[in-house]
Amino acid sequence: MSIQEQSQTRLPPGGVGLPDDLDARDVFALLVGALQNSTALIFDASGTIVWCCHRCPGFLGCQDPEQVIGSSLCRFTPDLWAAERIAAISRSVREQRPITLLSILGGRRMATRYIPIRDRQDAKDWVLAVTESVEASDIQRLEATEGDALIWSGVHDLGPLDALTARELEVLALLGHGKRTKEIAETVHRSVSTIDGHRERIGQKLELNDRAELITIARRACLRVEDAEGARVQLRKVLRS
């Protein structure tokens, strides 16, 4: 039975059109956890959505799951954001191994793990994409996982951090890494007074005056100096016709 036929005859909890008889049993365990705490999608090898959990339609800006099935991410998200994810999907299928993409969404660091699976009946390749927020300790664990490819995204939805300039993002990232003002000044080759000015403006823009609060928001995003040079997008919930 094809995935389209399955979607008409059986609706699994929280999703539409889940394919039967996938390669590994642990994929199902991962999927169940994803439905509780994360968002999950299944793509075909070209990046077309063939299944979604119940949270995805709202996130993508529509109410009906059937609007999601059969569409590309390009329909719902900025082209740069979609292209990076479609490339990860293609790589996961090509290399037949998990690919984890680390990006910033709404000011939080998110990990999307692309896991290659196969529908034995149709002999088609699929990719399960599970997205959840992560902390520094989670990233350290991912970096130590053998066989997985870890990619730091170059495209971010910075959320409230989008108000900051590239230099201010660098300073905030270094604050999050525990650097003192003098150390930051030495790292970016600026004076201490210049760094103090940057920190003051960061606080004004984020409406945070306490250094500890700035460190917290930087660590929530697992912010890196390299992120300051990344492309910025805004994931508006607008459905493209």
Range of the domain at 194: 160-220
Residues 214 and 129 in one domain: no
What the block records as the tokens of 176 is: 């999050």
Residues 74 and 39 in one domain: yes
pLDDT at residue 31, as a whole number: 56
Q: Would residue 235 count as lying in a domain?
A: no
Contacts of 66 (CB under 8 A, 6+ apart): 16
Residues 60 and 147 in one domain: yes
Q: Would residue 102 count as lying in a domain?
A: yes
Residues 119 and 13 in one domain: yes
Residues 87 and 58 in one domain: yes
Tell me if the pTM is above 0.95: no
Question: Residue 38 pLDDT more than 90?
Answer: no
What the block records as the tokens of 149 is: 């490819």
Q: Could you report how far apart the first and last alpha carbons of the chain are, in Å?
A: 30
In terms of Cα–Cα distance, which of 80, 77, 150 is closest to 112?
A: 150
* Range name among 5-14, 102-111, 136-145 with the lowest pLDDT average: 5-14
Which CATH number fits the domain that encloses residue 181? 1.10.10.10
How far is the C-alpha of 24 from the C-alpha of 180, rounded, in Å?
48
Which CATH number fits the domain that encloses residue 41? 3.30.450.20
pLDDT at residue 63, as a whole number: 66
What Cα–Cα distance (Å) separates residue 183 from each residue in 80, 175, 196? 34, 10, 12
Q: Would residue 141 count as lying in a domain?
A: yes
Residues 106 and 209 in one domain: no
Residues 138 and 30 in one domain: yes
Mean pLDDT of the region 113-138: 83
As for how many domains the chain has, the answer is 2
Residues 167 and 131 in one domain: no
Do 206 and 217 touch, CB atoms closer than 8 A? Answer: yes
pLDDT at residue 121, as a whole number: 60
Q: Which residue has the higher pLDDT, 37 or 237?
A: 37
Q: Which residue has the higher pLDDT, 145 or 15?
A: 145
Residues 171 and 148 in one domain: no
Residues 211 and 146 in one domain: no
Residues 9 and 124 in one domain: yes
